[in-house]
Amino acid sequence: MLRTAVLAASRRAQGGADALATLAAVGSTGSPWGAAAAAAEPSQCSSCPSSCTCGSRGARWAHSSGHRLSGSQWEVLRNQGFAVNPCNSRLHPSFTEAGIEPDQEEELSVQEAYTPESTCWGCGPAAGDGLNLRSYRIPGGLEATVELSAKYSAFPGIINGGVVQALFDCHGNWTAAIALMDKAALPKPPLTLTYEMLCTFKETTPPAEPLILRSQIVRIKESEAPGSKATVQVDMNLYHSLGGHEKLLASSTGIFKKLGALRAL
């Protein structure tokens, strides 16, 4: 999979139900995703004094520990034998909050790290004839590089818009799942599915050219109402990489809903 040197530089800057009970006793934690959500939508937080201005819908969990990030949950998981950072990213909260060094030097995509046997056509590592999307952590989101085969063209030199939407769909779901995992300090991401997604096409997408896909968390919304599911709003942009210059091709805003405790293959 294509990973250009400039993108690699920008990136460098398993678990089960028994862990959930332990984590519930320890409490919740903040994460790099909380900072992204807070920057996107500042508002008064219900957990803070009336003078507080640092809260947001997506960052309220950080205030239970006095506005300080805690790495204790990741230490608990590691001590139980879980692989807390299988993608080996220094942007994983187990490193940024708890100082737990990655096990290996080579960073893996979230797809390879958490669902290596997935046959999803868009992003599954085991899908031999898929789009081979591989997404890596960046501050507040994920980033992927991909080249699309000419066989996915709607017209000569123009990739079908549905294929572009498939990239957004997979990348957005992974962004949401990783955000929820980090927020709750879980060893694996939960299952999420697309609730709604809007795509805007700025330019045509060329085949056999390096493309960059980036996402950012807008907000995480949770409700204590019985039966309600957490949702994550994600903004995404697709660029054509042209010798250091990035040309915006398409944008998407999606809302992704948590449906299960662990991500399915």
pLDDT in tens, 237-264: 999 999 889 999 999 999 999 997 766 5
Cα gap 107→49, rounded to integer Å: 41
Each residue's pLDDT tens digit, 78-89: 999 999 999 999
| Whether pLDDT at 125 is above 50 | yes
**Domain of 176: which CATH number?**
3.10.129.10
pLDDT at residue 144, rounded to an integer: 99
**Domain range holding 184?**
5-260
> Tell me, what's the pLDDT at 251?
99
Q: Tell me if 221 is assigned to some domain.
A: yes
Q: What is the pLDDT of residue 51?
A: 32
Dihedral through CA 175, CA 6, CA 126, CA 166, nearest 10?
50
Q: Are 203 and 156 in contact (CB under 8 A)?
A: no
When comparing pLDDT for 203 and 55, which is higher?
Answer: 203
Pairing type for strands 158-159 and 231-242 reads unpaired
| 230 close to 239: Cβ distance less than 8 angstroms | no
77's CB contacts (< 8 A; 6+ apart) are 15, 19, 22, 23, 84, 94, 185, 187
Residue 154 included in any domain: yes
CB atoms under 10 Å from CB of 133, counted, come to: 25
Average the pLDDT over 191-198 and give the result: 98
What amino acid is encoded at 148 in this protein?
Answer: L
Number of domains in the chain: 1
> pLDDT digits over 20-68, tens only?
343 333 344 444 454 444 444 433 333 333 333 333 333 333 333 333 3
Give the separation between CA 172 and CA 186, rounded to whole angstroms: 19
Bigger pLDDT: 57 vs 135: 135
- Specify whether the CB–CB gap between 168 and 199 falls below 8 A: yes
Report pLDDT for 260: 77
| Count, residues in the chain | 265
Closest CA relative to residue 111, chosen from 164, 171, 183: 171
- Alpha carbons 64 and 197: distance in angstroms, whole number: 32
The predicted structure's pLDDT at residue 265: 52
* CA 155/CA 58 separation, integer angstroms: 41
What does pTM read for this prediction? 0.76
Residue 168 predicted with pLDDT over 90: yes
Give me the pLDDT at residue 263, please: 67
Residue 158 inside a domain? The answer is: yes
The average confidence (pLDDT) of the chain is: 81
Residue 264: per-residue pLDDT: 57
* Residue 265, in any domain of the structure: no
Which residue is associated with the tokens 């590089």?
Answer: 145
Burial-class residue 186 by CB neighbours within 10 Å (0-12, 13-18, 19+): buried
Work out the pLDDT band at 226, boundaries 50, 70, 90: confident
Top pLDDT among 209 and 262 is at 209
